[in-house]
Amino acid sequence: MKSVITRGITGVFFIVFVVWAIMYNPISLWALLAIITGVSLYEFYKILFKGEFTTLQYLMHISAGIYLTTILWLEATMVMEASESRAVTYAPYLLYIMIVFITELYAKHEEPFTYAAKSLAGHLYIALPVGLLSFIAFGGLSILSIYMPVMLLALLVIIWVYDTGAFVTGMTFGKHRLFERISPKKSWEGFWGGVAFALLAAWGIYSILENYGINSMELYKWLGFALVVVVSATMGDLTESLLKRTYGVKDSGKILPGHGGMMDRFDSVFMAAPAAYIYLSLVL
């Protein structure tokens, strides 16, 4: 009972903080994305390298990941319009990539390219997708750069509703395993139940935005958005399950009492973000 209460309290505070950070202003959004990237990368490297990283290595790779997320945030805000400023801004990250490989010339690891690849994988898996959330929050998907946090909030709401719907229907009706080799508890019944809840959430968001006259998509596009999000979110969840199963860990961390680590909370987003970005780029 105590664990359920702890999980509930943590969940409420977590959702309130995330919603506030998204809705307040672009700077608070950047701070939220930087926190997600930084903490998730720490958990990612801790799992993959199992204590091999020094404090300096953690700082270097995590700082570079946050920098990549920040670059994408700057791109979305269209702060970097001049090619000269863009070249200067990207230079530190490009140097970082060079340093990762050059360092392996002297580190004497048994598998130097595997070591370097693991270091950079965190940026592709976490920092890049988290950075793409900025484009969903801004009009960077179109010609004008306008802060539209409602789109990003809609993506997260759809994921949260899908997760809740999938859990409830899966616990109630689940019999056929969705991907037993990787995640034995997930069922097809839970998946389709979650999809139904997500579509209802998309319809609800559409109706609310229509009522306030700030809607940017037709209903069928919102339903398509929900489908893209839930399918990719499921793949993201399964991908993290595969990572944890491969390296023999239960949770990515303990930063969120009752919920595990930051990766455990945003694993769905790591796949949903690029999928949503592509979808919205095509339909808007």
pLDDT digit string, tens, across residues 6-19: 767 777 888 899 99
Q: Please determine, for residue 148, whether its predicted confidence score (pLDDT) is greater than 70.
A: yes
- How much is the pLDDT for 88? 83
Rounded mean pLDDT of 42-70? Answer: 93
Range in 80-84, 108-112, 165-169 with the lowest mean pLDDT: 80-84
What pLDDT, on a 0 to 100 scale, did the predictor assign at position 103? 92
| pLDDT computed for residue 83 by the predictor | 55
pLDDT above 70 as % of the chain:
92
**Predicted pLDDT at 261:** 86
Q: Which uninterrupted H or E stretch holds 184?
A: strand 183-187
**pLDDT given at position 238:** 93
Provide DSSP, 31-90: HHHHHHHHHHHHHHHHHHHTT---HHHHHHHHHHHHHHHHHHHHHHHT---SHHHHHHHH
Q: How confident is the model at residue 1 (pLDDT cuts 50, 70, 90)?
A: low
Is a pLDDT exceeding 90 seen at residue 31? Answer: yes
Domains of the chain, residue spans: 2-283
Largest CA distance in the chain: 63
Residue (of 250, 233, 267) closest to 161 by Cα position: 233
Supply the pTM of this predicted model.
Answer: 0.91
pLDDT tens-digit profile of 155-207? 999 999 999 999 899 888 878 788 878 887 888 899 999 999 999 999 999 99
Element (H, E) at 139: none
Compute φ and ψ for 177, nearest 5 degrees: -70, 135
Which residue, chain included where needed, has tokens 């090619």?
83
- Given a cut of 70, whether residue 80 has pLDDT beyond it is no
Give the orientation angle of helix 149-173 with respect to helix 128-137, to 10 degrees. 120
